[in-house]
Chains A and B, each alone.
Chain A
């Protein structure tokens, strides 16, 4: 089975631009979470979507938004990019049907560089 996929792999943007990152969850998983990881730190939670509804939001500004589509894939949008947005953006999917399904499986990430 295919794991979590993310696109693009790498991205270079200029300050003030916007960016869209995409994620496809593991087949059968209905929950997608987004994380930001800067070098030397653990991932920081941005959003969780389950059944196309936002179920959690981390401490990120309104420049960050996301959505989930009927096929459970997801997009993360970041507007008015700042240098500090440079990071590895990770998508994780989980089944969320029972206790055993809280495990999150991560994709390879999108490396965003803002210049």
Chain B
């Protein structure tokens, strides 16, 4: 069965600092990996996805993520965080691109001035 672990429940970073959110997955075959962001009272918005090919994927809002098969990880990064990035971030895995997703429990990002 697929599963996703986001080890950090909360992360606080200063505005302008770099960010890395961790995601580890458990799945026997090639995973299809996603990062979503959720602002308060809103639904989930797709930041980026990995299906195959280049292991470094670029997303919206300046985010990128790197797929590392040897570490079963798909960490999300941003070089310089903006206050508007404060939100809940979810990593998700699917066994095929269009199938239902298993989500991690989320990481809440707080950005300080």
Our verdict on whether A and B bind, yes or no, reads no
Residues on A close to B: CB < 8 A? none
Residues on B close to A: CB < 8 A? none
